[in-house]
Structure 1
Amino acid sequence: MGSTGKRLFRYAMLYKKPIFAALGFMLIAVCVELLGPLIAQRMIDNNIMGIEKKWHVEASESRYGVEYEGVRYKREDHFSGDETKGEVARVLQMEGKNYFLRGDLAFDGKRSVTDGTLTVTAEDGTAAVYPVTPLTSEELYRFYKPELPGLLTLAAAYLGLLAVAAVFTYFQRLLLQKSANRIVQRMREDVFAHTQRLPVQYFDNLPAGKVVSRITNDTEAVRELFVAVLTNFFAGAVYMVAIFGALFMLEPWLAALALPIVPILAVWIVVYRKFAGRYNEVIRNKLSDINAMINESILGMPIIQAFRRSKRTMEEFEEHNKEFYKYQNKLLNLNSLTSHNLVNVVRNALFIVVIWLFWGDWLGSIVTVGVLYAFIDYMNRMFQPIVGIVNQLANLETARVSAERVFRLLDEPGTDVATGALPRYKGEVRFEDVTFAYKNDDYVLKNISFEARQGETVALVGHTGSGKSSILNLLFRFYDIEKGSIKVDGTDVRDIPKQLLRQHMGIVLQDPYLFTGTIASNVSLDNPAITRDKVVQALKDVGAYDMFMNLPGGIDEPVLEKGSTLSAGQRQLISFARALAYDPAILILDEATASIDTETEAIIQQALDVLKQGRTTFVIAHRLSTIRQADQILVLDRGEIVERGNHETLMQHGGKYYAMYQLQQGGAPVLSA
């Protein structure tokens, strides 16, 4: 995962204490749990199969002694060092029955009993016969009875260990889940905060749905990395190390047989990641495309339905969805091929080899039944986390690809949010030989120079694409210029942090954006510095207060997303009041009256006469009648200022402004010679 892994590790280290505590709890739980097979092996070999060990006649009665036919016998491993051992006897198990033999076997081998006679045949064909007596169930129970207290103690210890492991596992999962949630919370906050620092042009080329997908879907996939993938991989590693250690202590030959599992698993992971990484990259990109299209379709639903584009939109969505489905199936096939079924095949093949060697006497001479049981138990316990690792490979690759997409967004150059405050400037603006292009050398502004003094109203007019909005985008530093300079109160705007520069600027767009909330919250934008009184005053200044007070909720009337329940004029008035509530030194009206009815426009015009006092105002307007009172009118054509002056001066000049004005008034334009 390279640098992506390092950055994820740095995020994890922010909450290292709970994560390390969780991994510590997991380590304890695994170690405690792995004592189980050793206890089981002891129960089988000592307490259950131990009945076949040698029994001796005991000299005095003891708690391990067993009476049979008037003689007391005790198993040899229960004799103390100074006790005298009497004659030997054996309890033998054959063909589901148990027999008592006075004396010992000369050698062991294949056993058979006929008419009370035991025949033992060695591998070389040597045979020996012994007289034996069948044991009844009651007699057999006597030989087992001394082992019951130890058997029950070990069983209780086994259950106790399971309970301890369960407690530690619970706290491990709880801590890891909480840590993962906090990591993703922090990551989402970082990504969202970074989107606030990104320049406006970044969003020109990236649909909103794709940004949403990175903040939500991709970070959620990363959460699975810390919850499921980390748990399974760490637990699997601990299990494998601990189990191999236990196997080497138990029986080195069995451990050697299990060792090939490690390289097989390593190759398995490498091959899987090679293919899964490719598929996941396409899947995450397609998911972003789907989110982007859904977002665009919802926002543009009126246009889609009005122009009967629903069918074509559905076809485009189906194309994206089919591609997404195609690669999901490819990944599904890969997961099915390399899933736990393949793990089970490897495990069962190993079991067959071990059992064949055991019953073929290759291992029978060195491996007891209890050891064989412990080995199988350990293998089952080891293959369980291996299955977990294999099943989490898909999540690992998804998380890796998602993390790369998140970090790619975080690596986009942005501007740090400036702290503090900038004293309110006068609002004197000067453009000096400004030349600007959005792309390469396709200049939209060429050698723009003008000066706006404090309190002046400057109007920008011209045909669509002439560069009017570009001038204001540069003033707001949504984009930065390559040539020339822009100064506010004599200071180059590039020397002022963007947030502080905009602190004393207000803007009203042609299509105002309203947020979910209330009318009042959309004016103040929940800025604590904008009091309720300021909100009311701003609405009164634009002449909208009485209009909104007639609504059921007054200025606390709920506003849905984008203000869909309000008229275009009402939305524009809220946007206008929002700009005024912040008391800007520079006010920008970007075709603010273009979509407003005549009555509402008259209200705004009345407010403007009062508000422009002491405030520099820039107006972009297609309705030339609204800018007759402007102190300075700049006429733009193809990125250049071709005329400048006030209304009377430009009308007398008889140039482009005169022609546009006459055309809007309904008269034929009369151009001067």
Structure 2
Amino acid sequence: MKPSTEKRLLRYALSSKKTISIALICLIIAVGLELTGPFIAKKIIDNHIVGIQTEWVQVEEQNDKNTIAYKNRFLKRSDRLNADDQVIETYTFIQSSRHYYLIHDQIPLDSSIQVVNDESVTVTSNNGTETVAAEKVAVRELYRFFEPELNPIVWLLVLYLGLILIAAIFQYMKTYLLQVHANKIIQRMRNDVFTKVEELPMHYFVKQPAGKILARVTNDTEAIKELYVKVLETFVNGFIYMSGIMIALFLLNETLAMICLILLPILLLFMKFYKKYAGKYNRVIRSVNSDINASINESIQTMPIIQAFRRTDERQQEFEQLNDRHYRYQKKMIALSALTSFNLVNAIRGIAFVGFIWYFGSRSFSVENVISTGLLYAFVDYLTRLFEPLTQMVNQLPQLEQARVSAGRVFELLDEDSEVIDNKEIDRIRGEVTFYNVSFAYEKDDYILKNVAFTVLPGQTVAFVGYTGSGKSSIMNLLFRFYDPQKGIIAIDGIDSASLTRQQVRQHIGIVLQDPFIFTGTVLSNITLDDPTIKREQAIAALKAVGADRFIEKLPKQYDEPVGEKGSEFSTGQRQLLSFARALAFNPAILVLDEATANIDTETEGMIQQAMNILAEGRTMLVIAHRLSTIQHADQIIVLENGQIIEKGTHDQLIEEDGNYYQMFKMQQGGLSEQAIL
């Protein structure tokens, strides 16, 4: 049983555990340092701002920086007394409304006071009501009580700033490591996908449009890239950040933290709901996107035909249908995402704050469970921070589902059965080819070739002729092992080709197609195909041997002339000469010409024929013939009809037999259209 998409994505993510581990350590340190902020703020508020509202005592002398001079008295906070301090009198410094009072007695800090006159106040607490002596602290004198707190506040702020700067360094390291690792994963995945594409058997490409395959290599891997580069980092960062906040909340107040903890299952249930519907929508979106790519690719490739036959409106309608379906499912995804993202987080945030206010309002005013101002600030700060990663994670759910669906499509491609790749060199073959009663069908029981048997000796030139659909190209496909026959054996130098790998079979076989493909690059790179074993001098010699130098040396940069896509700057005959030179440079023992002269004009045919004669020297040549005038000197001509060999022999022998070959030759000599005949 194959592992799930999520497990395979995780396997890719953990491909470099060392990098991930270092990044996570950096993230944990950064989050830990950053989350010290509310604790430091709580300490500043409770101990150094609101903290001055506490019990003060009068001492004999000003012996340290915690002692202040106030109206000919030396006052000090009782929690900062030293062992050698002599206490003269006890006071309580307290705020009422917008004014501060120094009460000449020790009273509970949660007491309410009412001013009687400038020298006394009424104090109401759980112990009852009493009138005590007090003095109002003028605004200009208030600073004295805060003065001892300034230095600790400054140091705490400097400490927090230092922690933030250190956290920034670790955040940078975390981001850098995760981003580099994410891009490394995508690099590896794209290499895996492209390698897989090169290993796929030929029938896969027959059944799958090029645009769909292209979409999986480019669009789908790009969507997965967003998963590793952005989504995964967001979720990892959010999980660590939320874990740190929950730990901090438990350290502050366990009951309030439990209220927040209940919210997490709500998020998990929603993610499960979202995955169900978003996955279904995204699968359709990605599939239609592949169809759109395939449609565009096909339209571009066939634009001359579309315009020539005035089919632009029909192609436009086909494209609009695909585009409309893509739009409809995108709209469904948008509706689902709009319903969830900020709406969901705001709802959860509202529930959390309602729970917090309920708890604070119903219990915090009791004497046993007083919540300090600093604790209140810290908890609200942490609660606000808790929803920042939550919002980011929820907003990344659409991208997560899109990446998950894209990954499923990519892994589906990677799971396709592939050919065994073995590039182990074998000795150069002599070039003998034998078909022993070979039968072959592209589809089950619909045989294209039926009991085909023939032998080509080393160095011979053998031509295959026949009407369209007779099986000529199928013979070449089997020889190259693009496909394998259902019956019979294909032997090369007496060795069953099925016992060799496909790469070993192709090592010493070359091919020239009817419509040669010219790659983007230069003239020389199209001859060598960047094979380091083929030197520049060899490539130039091959070009000169087939006569291509006559037009190449007229180019501005000659052999280094840039070549555009498909070599459109060259004529059909010139492109064919380049393909002949390519085959000659690789020096195969067996060369296949697949209707290489079919699209050549009469004037160019002489050049091509001369090039073919050069190519034939010292090697076995199998020619799928379109123009019978080009194969008259072949050692053997094999005539096919409906997948069976009906005639064999030299040109002269077949003419004498007055059979099918003779009729085809006579018709061509009579000037009938070759397209109608073959």
Q: Normalised by the shorter chain, which TM-score bucket?
A: over 0.9
Please show how residues 548-627 of structure 1 align to structure 2 within 5 Å: 548-627=552-631
- The Cα shift of 1:256 comes to 1.8
Q: How far, CA to CA, are the matches of 1:284 and 1:352 in structure 2?
A: 41
Identity %: 50
Please show how residues 653-668 of structure 1 align to structure 2 within 5 Å: 653-666=657-670
Q: How far, CA to CA, are the matches of 2:160 and 2:486 in structure 1?
A: 76
Aligned to 1:39: 40
> How many corresponding residue pairs?
667
Please show how residues 243-258 of structure 1 align to structure 2 within 5 Å: 243-258=245-260
Letter in 2 for 1:206: Q
Change beyond 3 A, Cα 1:312–1:179: same
Is the partner of 1:15 in helix, strand or coil? helix
Q: How far, CA to CA, are the matches of 2:290 and 2:117 in structure 1?
A: 82
Deviations 1:365-397 (A, max 9, x none): 332111111111111222111112112212221
Is the partner of 1:254 in helix, strand or coil? helix
Please show how residues 294-443 of structure 1 align to structure 2 within 5 Å: 294-362=296-364, 365-443=369-447
Gaps of 5+ in 1: 669-673
Pair 1:217 & 2:225 matched:
no
Q: How far, CA to CA, are the matches of 1:293 and 1:270 in structure 2?
A: 35
Change beyond 3 A, Cα 1:85–1:341: farther
Pair 1:535 & 2:533 matched:
no
Change beyond 3 A, Cα 1:350–1:123: farther
- The Cα shift of 1:10 comes to 2.9
Change beyond 3 A, Cα 1:159–1:591: same
- The Cα shift of 1:107 comes to 7.6
Aligned to 2:451: 447
Letter in 1 for 2:10: F
Aligned to 2:261: 259
Q: How far, CA to CA, are the matches of 1:363 and 1:502 in structure 2?
A: 87
- The Cα shift of 1:152 comes to 0.9
Aligned to 2:656: 652
Please say if residues 467 and 639 of structure 1, whose CA atoms lie closer than 8 Å, have aligned partners that are also in contact: yes
**1:486 corresponds to which of 478, 484, 490:** 490
Change beyond 3 A, Cα 1:115–1:286: farther
- The Cα shift of 1:667 comes to 8.0
Change beyond 3 A, Cα 1:70–1:347: same
- The Cα shift of 1:551 comes to 2.5
Q: How far, CA to CA, are the matches of 1:517 and 1:360 in structure 2?
A: 78
Letter in 2 for 1:198: L
Change beyond 3 A, Cα 1:106–1:310: closer
Please say if residues 445 and 470 of structure 1, whose CA atoms lie closer than 8 Å, have aligned partners that are also in contact: yes
Q: Which moved more, 1:367-376 or 1:104-113?
A: 104-113
Q: How far, CA to CA, are the matches of 1:454 and 1:265 in structure 2?
A: 73
Q: How far, CA to CA, are the matches of 2:513 and 2:271 in structure 1?
A: 54
Q: How far, CA to CA, are the matches of 2:85 and 2:420 in structure 1?
A: 85
Q: Which moved more, 1:174-183 or 1:359-368?
A: 359-368
Pair 1:27 & 2:31 matched:
no
TM-score normalised to structure 2 length? 0.94
Gaps of 5+ in 2: 673-678
Letter in 2 for 1:147: E
- The Cα shift of 1:336 comes to 1.6
Please say if residues 424 and 585 of structure 1, whose CA atoms lie closer than 8 Å, have aligned partners that are also in contact: yes
- The Cα shift of 1:555 comes to 2.5
Change beyond 3 A, Cα 1:123–1:211: farther
- The Cα shift of 1:242 comes to 2.0
Please say if residues 546 and 614 of structure 2, whose CA atoms lie closer than 8 Å, have aligned partners that are also in contact: no
Deviations 1:441-469 (A, max 9, x none): 11111111111111111111111111110
Deviations 1:144-189 (A, max 9, x none): 1111111111111111111111111111111111111111111111
**2:518 corresponds to which of 502, 509, 514:** 514
Please say if residues 41 and 371 of structure 1, whose CA atoms lie closer than 8 Å, have aligned partners that are also in contact: yes
Is the partner of 1:438 in helix, strand or coil? strand
Change beyond 3 A, Cα 1:612–1:94: same
Aligned to 1:283: 285
Change beyond 3 A, Cα 1:316–1:60: same
Change beyond 3 A, Cα 1:211–1:118: farther
Letter in 1 for 2:36: L
Q: How far, CA to CA, are the matches of 2:85 and 2:3 in structure 1?
A: 68
Q: Which moved more, 1:70-79 or 1:432-441?
A: 70-79
Letter in 2 for 1:201: H
Q: How far, CA to CA, are the matches of 1:84 and 1:252 in structure 2?
A: 41
Is the partner of 1:622 in helix, strand or coil? coil
Aligned to 1:4: 5
Change beyond 3 A, Cα 1:667–1:106: closer
- The Cα shift of 1:105 comes to 2.2
- The Cα shift of 1:552 comes to 2.7
Is the partner of 1:593 in helix, strand or coil? coil
Deviations 1:521-540 (A, max 9, x none): 11111111111222122222
Aligned to 1:147: 149
- The Cα shift of 1:133 comes to 2.8
Q: How far, CA to CA, are the matches of 1:261 and 1:113 in structure 2?
A: 47
Aligned to 2:675: none
- The Cα shift of 1:491 comes to 0.4
Aligned to 1:671: none
Q: How far, CA to CA, are the matches of 1:438 and 1:135 in structure 2?
A: 101
Is the partner of 1:526 in helix, strand or coil? coil
Letter in 2 for 1:44: I
- The Cα shift of 1:340 comes to 3.0
Change beyond 3 A, Cα 1:322–1:650: same
- The Cα shift of 1:355 comes to 2.9
Aligned to 1:179: 181
Q: Which moved more, 1:236-245 or 1:169-178?
A: 236-245
